[in-house]
Amino acid sequence: MQLAYQPCYCEENIWRLCADGVVDVARSTVLLITNRHRTSAVWCQRSGFAGQPVVWDYHVVCLEASEDGARTWDLDCSLPIPSPALAWFDAAIGPSADVPLRFQPHFRLVEASRWLAEFASDRRHMRDSTGEWLQPPPPWPTIGQGFNLDEFLDLDEPGPGPWRDRLELRRMLTELDSATTG
pLDDT tens-place values along the chain, 182 residues long: 789 999 999 999 999 999 999 999 999 999 999 999 999 999 999 998 888 899 999 999 999 998 888 999 999 999 999 999 999 999 999 766 678 889 999 999 999 999 999 999 999 999 999 999 999 999 999 999 999 999 999 999 888 999 999 999 999 999 887 776 66
Domain annotation covers residue 160: yes
CB 40 within 8 A of CB 9: no
Domain annotation covers residue 1: no
**pTM for this entry:** 0.95
> What's the total number of domains in the chain?
1
- C-alpha torsion sign, points 22, 115, 84, 99: positive
Domain annotation covers residue 5: no
Q: Cα-flanking dihedrals φ and ψ of residue 7, to 5°?
A: -55, 145
CATH at 99? 3.10.620.10
Residue 64 belongs to domain spanning: 10-181
Domain annotation covers residue 93: yes
- Residue 32: other Cβ atoms inside 10 A: 26
**Active site (catalytic) residues:** 10, 59, 74
Domain annotation covers residue 4: no
CA 35 to chain centre: 13
